[in-house]
């Protein structure tokens, strides 16, 4: 299959579970060809192709992000995913500190996990504010200009340098959660784990999954389409 990992997931979001199983990144390094990704992970290409073939081809509209209009996609990112991230990053901070304080001596990795959560929490919140304040309004302005066939000023476009910063943030946050995943042995809980311990690991796992999905939507669908739209408007002006 001579396609990039991101393209495969864009065409069928259900394939994300296969790449998750083989620990192949489809959000940050999604432009890598499947064959290259398998080589890098020392994974048998035939095994992955078999699993990909077995995945359900039916993609429900609510998960078919590539078919959504850009303004609807932005509203989804802000009202659903950003809201989830804002609420849950604060919850992760609370439980990270609580569980580290109680079990830190017995499970030393909890100390590092708590530090990683604290390190990344503020940057995630600031990152979302930058998107909502700068990137998303500009893309909506492009959509309006295209709909009304009017000339719009693209001279101070945030789809270049600011986007690079956003994508760099994505990479750093993704790397942090991969480290947390390693420290938790893929969120494997001790048998004697209390409710707080279980909540922390469950929330971390859910957050990483949504984070990868969010980054995939922005890096591989929203931003490329926005740049293409901007370019079409520049050519018309």
Which range has the worst mean pLDDT, 51-55, 56-60, 131-135?
Answer: 56-60
- pLDDT tens-digit map of 197-231: 999 999 999 999 999 999 999 999 999 999 999 99
Mean pLDDT of 39-51: 91
The fraction of the chain above a pLDDT of 70, given in percent, is 99
> What is d(CA 52, CA 54) in angstroms, rounded to the nearest whole number?
5
User: What is residue 94's three-state secondary structure?
Assistant: helix
Mean pLDDT of 48-56: 91
Mean pLDDT of 16-44: 91
Query: Which residue ranges make up each domain of the chain?
Result: 5-62, 68-236
Q: Is 113 exposed, middle or buried (0-12, 13-18, 19+ CB in 10 A)?
A: buried
How far lies 197's CA from each of 90, 135, 183, 185, 216, in Å? Answer: 16, 37, 14, 14, 29
Whether residue 4 has pLDDT greater than 90: yes
In this predicted structure, what is the pLDDT of residue 237? 59
Q: pTM value?
A: 0.90
User: What is residue 33's three-state secondary structure?
Assistant: strand
Q: How many residues does the chain have?
A: 237
Mean pLDDT of 116-143: 94
Answer whether 118's CB lies under 8 Å from 95's CB: no
Answer whether 56's CB lies under 8 Å from 14's CB: yes
């Amino acid at each position: 299959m001579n396609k990039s990992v991101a393209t495969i997931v864009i065409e069928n979001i259900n394939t994300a579970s296969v790449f998750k199983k083989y620990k192949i990144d489809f959000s940050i390094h999604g432009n890598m060809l499947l064959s290259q990704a398998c080589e890098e992970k020392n994974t048998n290409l035939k095994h992955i192709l078999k699993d990909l073939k077995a995945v359900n081809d039916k993609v429900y509209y609510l998960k078919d992000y590539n078919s959504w209009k850009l303004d609807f996609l932005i509203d989804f990112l802000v009202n659903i995913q950003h809201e989830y991230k804002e609420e849950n990053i604060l919850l992760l901070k609370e439980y990270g500190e609580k569980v580290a304080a109680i079990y830190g001596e017995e499970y030393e990795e909890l100390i590092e996990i708590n530090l990683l959560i604290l390190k990344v929490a503020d940057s995630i919140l600031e990152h979302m504010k930058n998107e909502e304040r700068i990137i998303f309004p500009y893309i909506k302005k492009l959509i309006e200009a295209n709909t009304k066939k009017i000339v719009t000023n693209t001279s101070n476009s945030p789809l270049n340098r600011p986007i690079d910063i956003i994508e760099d943030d994505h990479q750093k946050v993704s790397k942090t959660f991969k480290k947390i995943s390693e420290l938790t042995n893929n969120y494997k809980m001790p048998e004697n784990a209390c409710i707080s311990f279980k909540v922390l690991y469950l929330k971390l796992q859910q957050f990483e999954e949504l984070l990868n999905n969010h980054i995939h939507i922005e890096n591989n669908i929203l931003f490329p389409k926005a740049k293409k739209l901007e370019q079409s408007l520049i050519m018309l002006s």
